[in-house]
Amino acid sequence: MYQRPHVNRLFKRLSRGSNMRIAAIIGPRQVGKTTIALQVRKKLIEEKIPCWYMSIDNIDTSEADWPDMQKIRDDAQPGTVPDAGMLAEIWTQAQRASQESDQGLVLFLDEIQTIPRWSNIVKGFWDTDRRRGYPIRAVILGSAAWRMQVGRNESLAGRFDPIRVTHWSLPEMIQAFKLTVEEFMFFGGYPTPFKDKSRPIVLEAWQKYISDSVLKPIIERDIIGLTQIRKPALMRQLIDLASSYSGQLISYNKLLGQLKDAGNATTLANYLDLLSDAGLMVALSPYTASPHLGRSRSPKLNVLNTALMTAAPGYSFQEAKSDRSLWGRIVESAVGAHLYNTRNVSTRIHFWRDKSGANEVDFVISRGPHLVGLEVKSGRIRSHSGLACFKDRFPNAKTMIVGPDGISFEDFFSFTTDEWIERL
């Protein structure tokens, strides 16, 4: 089975010793966080390091290692979900078990966000472990975005090491599933639909997977279930509508005009922030010399996985490629998603337009003194006037073209955003 780079990095950390903060595997749904945890557990067990894995929201999973799990299964009513008391019992037993091993114990807690106020419980036990010397290395993971899981609990600062897992990249999808560049740009970076290599992708099944396994649980269980959403129906409408505008500038007023009971622009901006937290899409602000001015202007929407914009309209792969306008937006959105997903925390992604609106640059990468204007081309062109105007306005900026007239798509997707900053 293919292993993402996170597996070896986390294995090395967990195998070194117990004096470490809680490892939190965070990232969007359906990008393989549980698979990473199970692959790390397998490597640890091979090294004779005791591990317990527990899926909090599914007590029937065969992967659970907690010794009392079978008794819980036997006594539980259908649909039973572990509560705070069970979490406390698991950790208490893990403390005892860790003292019986020369190498301590690694405790994996999956779907931790299903337990109310879980972060306070985990914080309390971790503090106790440090004071009393219990050799436990804890790993937590959950489907919801990290900010949704912990809310405003600032007391967790310094106790967690977030391990960021993003959507799969082109090199990963090529190595694991032999996708072509164009297939990656259309189907996106969700691995599950490609795990059975003996079967071709069935369009209807793939569309159902995106709807039922990605969008529905994110909206209903993560965003609506874990945050203060006054208008759930608006959130559902927004994700459907906003995905269709990926790669385009859109005014909040125009978006409001197409939504029922939409409220105001502030509500809409807050909801788009939640969609960004969930790894679905981002509203990019225009680049200006004064950052506060850019945030007040019309954003450019960009999905963070192109499957979110291609699954809904019902186009097949070949039909999408034949529609030049749609394919151009898919290609541009794939580039934007890669820039955003692979950037470092200090790197910002914007777009740029001049005051007249006649010239624009698809993406602007900024990090400290570094500034890069990037233009995406899905077909051959004769003019690069947008980049020329951007260079005139910002003489110290670097520029790059991705597409037939510049860097090939395969080469572009092979490096992270910050690697491109250093290469230019």
- Which residue would you say has higher pLDDT here, 5 or 65? 5
SS3 46: helix
Pairing of β 136-141 and β 105-110: parallel
- What tokens appear for 319 in the block? 């039909």
Q: What is the rounded average pLDDT of the residues 278-283?
A: 92
Is residue 140 located within the same domain as residue 39? yes
Q: What is the pLDDT of residue 149?
A: 66
Pairing of β 300-303 and β 348-353: unpaired
Instruction: Enter the pTM of the model.
Output: 0.89
- ∠ CA 132-22-275 to the nearest 5 degrees? 150
pLDDT at residue 371 greater than cutoff 90: yes
Condensed to tens digits (0 to 9), the pLDDT of residues 152-178 reads 555 566 788 889 999 999 999 999 999
Q: What is the pLDDT of residue 407?
A: 96
CA atoms of 309 and 300, how far apart (whole Å): 14
Q: What is the rounded average pLDDT of the residues 281-297?
A: 77
Q: What is the rounded average pLDDT of the residues 340-364?
A: 93
- What tokens appear for 344 in the block? 């470092």
Pairing of β 360-367 and β 348-353: antiparallel
- ∠ CA 378-381-383 to the nearest 5 degrees? 130
Tell me the C-alpha to C-alpha distance, in Å, between residue 363 and each of 46, 92, 323: 46, 50, 23
Q: What is the pLDDT of residue 234?
A: 80
Distance between the two ends of the chain, CA-based, in angstroms? 35
Condensed to tens digits (0 to 9), the pLDDT of residues 394-420 reads 999 999 999 998 999 999 999 999 999
Is residue 251 located within the same domain as residue 388? yes
Is residue 87 located within the same domain as residue 222? no
Is residue 88 located within the same domain as residue 135? yes
4 with 32: CB under 8 angstroms? yes
pLDDT at residue 367 greater than cutoff 90: yes
- Which residue would you say has higher pLDDT here, 212 or 262? 212
Q: What is the rounded average pLDDT of the residues 89-96?
A: 91
Which of 164, 180, 209 terminates a domain? The answer is 164
pLDDT at residue 55 greater than cutoff 70: yes
Is residue 192 located within the same domain as residue 274? yes
Is residue 239 located within the same domain as residue 132? no
- Which residue would you say has higher pLDDT here, 264 or 280? 280
Q: What is the rounded average pLDDT of the residues 77-95?
A: 78
CA atoms of 34 and 286, how far apart (whole Å): 36
Is residue 128 located within the same domain as residue 182? no
Q: What is the mean pLDDT of the chain?
A: 86
Structural domain of 80: 5-164
Q: What is the pLDDT of residue 350?
A: 97
**How many domains does one find in the chain?**
2
DSSP, residue by residue, 272-284: HHHHHHTTSEEEE
Is residue 230 located within the same domain as residue 347? yes
* pLDDT bucket at 391, cuts 50 / 70 / 90: very high
Condensed to tens digits (0 to 9), the pLDDT of residues 33-53 reads 999 999 999 999 999 999 999
pLDDT at residue 57 greater than cutoff 80: no
Residue with tokens 């959403």: 229
pLDDT at residue 277 greater than cutoff 70: yes
* pLDDT bucket at 118, cuts 50 / 70 / 90: confident
Q: What is the pLDDT of residue 237?
A: 84
Q: What is the rounded average pLDDT of the residues 75-97?
A: 77
270 Cβ neighbours under 8 A, 6+ residues apart: none
Q: What is the pLDDT of residue 227?
A: 72
Which of 164, 180, 198 terminates a domain? The answer is 164
Is residue 253 located within the same domain as residue 296? yes
CA atoms of 336 and 339, how far apart (whole Å): 5
Strand partners, 106: 51, 137
Is residue 248 located within the same domain as residue 363? yes
Residue with tokens 């990473």: 36
Q: What is the rounded average pLDDT of the residues 137-150?
A: 77
| The amino acid at 115 | I
Is residue 371 located within the same domain as residue 264? yes
- What tokens appear for 252 in the block? 């909040």
Is residue 75 located within the same domain as residue 133? yes
Element holding 362 (H helix, E strand) = strand 360-367
Which of 132, 164, 196 terminates a domain? The answer is 164
Q: What is the pLDDT of residue 292?
A: 56
Question: Residue 145's CB: how many other CB atoms inside 10 A?
Answer: 25
Integer-rounded Cα radius of gyration of the chain = 23
CATH number at residue 59: 3.40.50.300
The mean-pLDDT minimum among 132-136, 141-145, 417-421 falls in 141-145
